[in-house]
Amino acid sequence: MAQLNPGKSDHPWLTPRAAYLHVPFCRTKCLYCDFNTYAGKDRLISEYVAALAGEIRARGAETGALPLRTVYFGGGTPSLLAVPQVRKLLDTLRDSCGVEPAAEVTLEANPGTFGPAYLEGLRALGVNRLSLGVQSLDDETLRRLARTHSAAAGLTAVRHARAAEIWSVNLDLIYGLPWQTIDTWRDHLTMALNTEPDHISLYALMVEEGTPLSTLVSRGQWEVPDQDAVADMYEAALPLLERAGFVHYEVSNWARPGHESRHNLVYWHNEAYLGCGAGAHSYVQGVRSWNVRPIEGYVRRVQSGAGVRAGDESLPVGEQVGETAALALRLRQEGLAFERFRSRFGIDPPARWTAQLAELSDMGLLEVDTDRARLTDKALLVNNEIASRFL
């Protein structure tokens, strides 16, 4: 069995250079959402921020002596935090872990929750990337899904980000929505591209068990496009994004050159990250752990010094190898880079997966060179099945 170079703990796959801070507050709960996030609890925000700062201080040593390269405020709706609250959290990270001056600092924001002054305040703190949850540009769809903003507010949010000179702006869009057709999807994606974002993430709608959407669909009250229609929507997006100058660098993500999400690349490289906040996950020194999920329980436990970890698992090296390969294949240009793999695991991918690489290459699903294996265009819609062959 390969070893994980146990003597060298400052490797990025062992010691985190990335921090995720979870902000579990939302104005409403969208009908499709199964994230650890809550509506109607804004009164707890200031207590929560204090607790989050407490967790960061308690765990700062986990990042070792090297400063963070990326910070990500995710949610939930982090743009419900006031500027001084974001400042407090960033200051705590700087004091407890260190943050590189050129670090990528992302904040997720929902349209309608902020104006230009808010973004200028964030930029002054060092937030240089905004990820906007635009999701759809159809007012009726947004309303029915219980999103709290209009299509126009989504477009205005991008303009505010531009006016505030936020360095990089991402738009999240969902396809496969109820009532969506391939024509409306194309039109809305084109409208989104006309705002000239730097990065686009496209997500197929997932009907998650236990959500109101799942109830509506299972009762036959709402209909979602079938698998073929969803696949057609994904394929229809590819030429539009290419013509607009985007590089398709990950199965669901497109960026202008230089605007790839450095934080998300940590996940796709299966490297270490520190996750703080209610329900946040961490991956440190080969151990995956997760925090208690309810806001109140999380705050209480930080305040009492009881510790917020709800569970953990140590991944056997064999599983780390498989997961790292499966995630790497999502990266369209980089792919499964053999040398990177050898230096991390001491494993030679062509020797370990000889049969898989040969078979998938013969089927036209993988392009295998001397130094890497990558998904072909034909493989994009079956990327999960291909990845599972490496687990």
Using the rule CB under 6 A, is 76 a contact of ligand SF4? yes
Contact window for ligand SF4 (CB under 6 A) among 32-40, 113-121, 258-266, 285-293: 32-40
Closest CA to 22 of 65, 84, 82, 81: 81
User: Smallest distance, Å, CB 135 to ligand SF4?
Assistant: 8
Q: Which whole-number Å values give the CA distances from 190 to 69, 136, 161, in the listed order?
A: 33, 12, 19
Instruction: Give how far the C-alpha of residue 384 lies from the chain's centroid of Cα atoms, to the nearest Å.
Output: 17
Question: Binding mask 118-137 vs ligand SF4 (x if CB under 6 A, - otherwise)?
Answer: ---------------x----
Backbone Cα Rg of the chain: 21
Contact window for ligand SF4 (CB under 6 A) among 28-36, 115-123, 179-187, 333-341: 28-36
Closest CA to 375 of 322, 326, 321, 335: 335
Closest CA to 326 of 376, 385, 379, 255: 385
Query: What six digits make up the tokens of 317?
Result: 């090296």
User: Smallest distance, Å, CB 38 to ligand SF4?
Assistant: 9
Amino acid at 346: G
Which residue of 63, 70, 77, 136 would you call a contact of ligand SF4, by CB under 6 A? 77
CA distance 111 to 310: 33
Which residue of 9, 35, 50, 67 would you call a contact of ligand SF4, by CB under 6 A? 35
Which residue of 4, 18, 33, 295 would you call a contact of ligand SF4, by CB under 6 A? 33
Output the CA torsion 107→110→114→116 (10° steps): 70
Which residue of 5, 9, 11, 29 would you call a contact of ligand SF4, by CB under 6 A? 29
Query: What six digits make up the tokens of 42?
Result: 């804004």
Using the rule CB under 6 A, is 207 a contact of ligand SF4? no
Contact window for ligand SF4 (CB under 6 A) among 27-35, 90-98, 200-208, 265-273: 27-35
How many residues bind ligand SF4, per CB under 6 A? 11
Amino acid at 38: Y
> What is the binding site for ligand SF4 (CB under 6 A)?
26, 29-30, 33, 35, 37, 75-77, 110, 133
